[in-house]
């Protein structure tokens, strides 16, 4: 019996092929998935993309869900960067 991958993983891998131009044969070997399985994921991704499919399985007609999600991620990353900058300054500071 083969491995079971969640929908998010399948769509991420398919996105690598469709949007980033990765070669299916190389990628299938890299992630240890059969070539036919990967091709099925790519075909499903292409079909769902035409329907406004979002990686978590929800339909997205307006694009607002994706925008809100990206905004949250960006905000979180900015906060993390600020924390890291402060920590760096503390660690680099020379003792008096």
What's the longest Cα–Cα distance across the chain?
A: 64
Distance CA 6, CA 29 (A): 19
Q: Any idea which residue has 């329907």 for tokens?
A: 51
* 37-94 pLDDT, tens digit each: 999 999 999 988 877 645 444 444 445 566 778 888 888 888 898 888 888 888 887 6
What is the token pair recorded at 83? 């924390």
> Is the pTM above the cut of 0.75?
no
37: tokens are 């399985």
User: Could you tell me which of 27, 2, 29, 34 has the C-alpha nearest to residue 13?
Assistant: 27
């Amino acid at each position: 019996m083969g491995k079971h991958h969640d929908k998010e993983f399948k769509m991420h891998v398919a996105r690598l092929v469709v949007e980033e131009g990765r070669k299916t044969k190389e990628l299938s070997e890299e992630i240890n998935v059969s070539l036919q399985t990967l091709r099925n994921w790519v075909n499903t991704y292409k079909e769902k993309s035409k329907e406004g499919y979002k990686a978590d399985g929800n339909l997205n007609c307006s694009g607002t869900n994706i925008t809100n999600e990206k905004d949250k991620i960006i905000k979180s990353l900015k906060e993390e960067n600020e924390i890291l900058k402060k920590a760096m300054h503390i660690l680099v500071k020379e003792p008096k």
